[in-house]
Amino acid sequence: MITRKSTAWSDSFSRQKLIEVAVVPAPSVLHPLNSFTVGDIRSFHTSPRFQANPLPLLWIILKPVQKLLAIIIGRGIRKWWLALPPNKKELFKESVRKNKWKLFLGLSSFGLLFIVFYFTHLEVSPITGRTKLLLLRKEHFSLLSELEYEAYMEEFKNDMLTEKDAQYLAIKEVFYHLIECNKDIPGISEINWIIHVVNSPDINAFVLPNGHVFVFTGLLNGVSDIHQLSFILGHEIAHAILEHAAEKASVVHLLDFLGLIFLTMIWAVCPRDSLAILGQWLQSKMQEYLFSRPYSRTLEAEADKIGLLIAAKACVDVRASAVFWQQMELADLLSGQPKLPEWLSTHPSHGNRVEHLDRLIPEALKMRESCNCPPLSGPDPRLVFKLTMKHLLEESEKEDLNSTVEKQKVDALPIEKQKQMPLTLSS
């Protein structure tokens, strides 16, 4: 990451300004109960507008047809084989044995072409230095992003805040401050960023490929201060400049292509349709939980890392990033939401995100210092949150103890009265 000198926010642009200007009740670290439970934060790659290549679009549109075609071909092969008389089956096997080297050469050539195709579509990210697969280019997202943008605008048309709204202005100022302080990062200046604020309680923010940023007002209620908001917006910016949407779509297309081959084989080999349906279901779940979801979690973790450095260059207190996910974890716990294993999710668990960010914060603090940001004042928000939770837990235990004692007194009262009642015998 390239460092740059950056000026800090003025004193007036503090966490108090976010609360006052936005005119929403931002919950403090002492009152995380007011936070909504966090939803999946969707993020897409942003890109300038180009003429879309029809081939990737056709691949996406015809995706269900491709699976159906693979099933038909596989089932047709099975029916053809079962319908063959025994003598023709033996002739076919003998023909395969005679031409086994030709078949091996053909399959090897196909495998070689696949490997060449794969390695010729690898690119190195100028930001992270990580090698990634990019089958689809920026221009492939233009038409899809426009359609998606129109769909979202239609969906949220009655909930959009005006550009003069205080909450809109607060979010806009935070977002463009992050952009201004990170112009040296490749890709940021080339994107035409446009802010849309949706009046919704959802804690959500996402970026479309055409540069339109959608932020929900619930995000203001889900963060404690301007530093947490800056980190979340930095996370979304990171998804865009790292081209995660294009990378994820490329991996999905590659897996789908390989999946079609396996799908055809499943329907050709399984003796009954019921077994083929079971095999198809197992294949889709294995692809999802062994490849797609782990890859998505990897991209989320990378966006957390780069988003943290983006926030650091804007002189944000990056220590607040870990507190945000601690608040989300606490909110889920208090709302009674079941804690699912991380491998079932497309996002890292809140606890793992906290640990990951805690490991990255020292590097981000060095980045912040190299940008000539003023020293951080006040206690570490992570320590404040920890002490607050300890205090709340102690108070809760005291209340539980008092309620238990009161209940024991109430239960013992009828017994005491019964002991005091005189025992009389009727004559």
- Catalytic residue list: 236
Q: CB neighbours of 329 closer than 8 A, spacing ≥ 6? A: 350, 351, 354
Q: Is 164 exposed, middle or buried (0-12, 13-18, 19+ CB in 10 A)?
A: exposed
CA angle 392–395–398, rounded 5-degree value: 150
Place of tokens 């083929």: 276
User: Which among 19, 26, 33, 37 is positioned nearest to 389, based on CA atoms?
Assistant: 33
User: Which among 209, 219, 218 is positioned nearest to 239, based on CA atoms?
Assistant: 209
DSSP 23-53: TS-PPPTT-GGGSPPP------------PPP
Give Cα separations from 372 to 1, 114, 355, 363 (angstroms). Answer: 16, 49, 27, 15
Tokens matching residue 190? 């080339």
CA angle 20–24–25, rounded 5-degree value: 100
Question: What would you measure as the largest C-alpha separation in the chain, in angstroms?
Answer: 114
- Beta-bridge partner residues of 427: none
Neighbouring C-alpha atoms within 13 Å toward the C-beta of 105: 4
Place of tokens 């920890």: 386
Give Cα separations from 27 to 24, 386, 389 (angstroms). Answer: 9, 16, 14
SS3 330: helix
Amino acid at 18: L
What does residue 196 show for φ and ψ, rounded to 5 degrees? -130, 130
Q: Strands, DSSP E only, in 104-210?
A: 122-124, 131-133, 194-198, 205-207
Listed in sequence order, the DSSP H helices in 210-348 are 218-222, 226-241, 244-269, 273-287, 293-313, 320-334
